[in-house]
Amino acid sequence: MPITGATGTLGQAFAGACLLRGIDHVLSDRQGLDLGDPRSVACALDNLSPWANITCAGWIRVHEVKDRAKDSKAHADASLEVLDRRALLVRTATNFSPYVQQSFAMHIIEALRDGRPFAAASEAVTSPTYGHDLIRATLDLVITVRVTRRLQVSVA
């Protein structure tokens, strides 16, 4: 199962969860799999023949997100539709974990703990997702869908 986003905390966390569950996976970065290149994606999927694909790649450059987020989401949706109409799409905004120090939530906690002020943009509102819950639920869904599809094929 390919997991994109090897350089990000979410991709690393998904890979760790797969190791704990004994799920075979391949963690890839931009050089290994360019999500902006449909041929690269199609070639990787043909070579791997995955039973699932977890895409953790995303924009982390805050100053670029406003300008490009909607375009990248629309492009991802269109790519999924072309590849497989049965695709399961799970979206999240920011996520946090006590094991990932480079997250917005952890920076706030550190500042509060140290008695330092924390400046945040007042126009930005988000509902952070607890990373471990996101990963657990996503893997449970993917595994359930795989088993269900296998049963449907076997019964038919």
Share of the chain above pLDDT 70, in %: 74
pLDDT of 115 higher than 90: yes
pTM metric for this prediction: 0.72
pLDDT digits (tens, 9 = 90+) for 81-96: 666 656 677 778 778 7
pLDDT of 17 higher than 80: yes
Average pLDDT score over residue span 37-64: 75
Q: DSSP characters for the chain? A: -EEE-TTSHHHHHHHHHHHHHT---EEE-TTT--TT-HHHHHHHHHHH--S--EE------HHHHHHHHHHHHHHHHHHHHHH-TT------S-EE-TT-SSSHHHHHHHHHHHT------TT-----EEHHHHHHHHHHHHHHHHHHHHHHHHH-
* Length of the chain measured in residues: 156
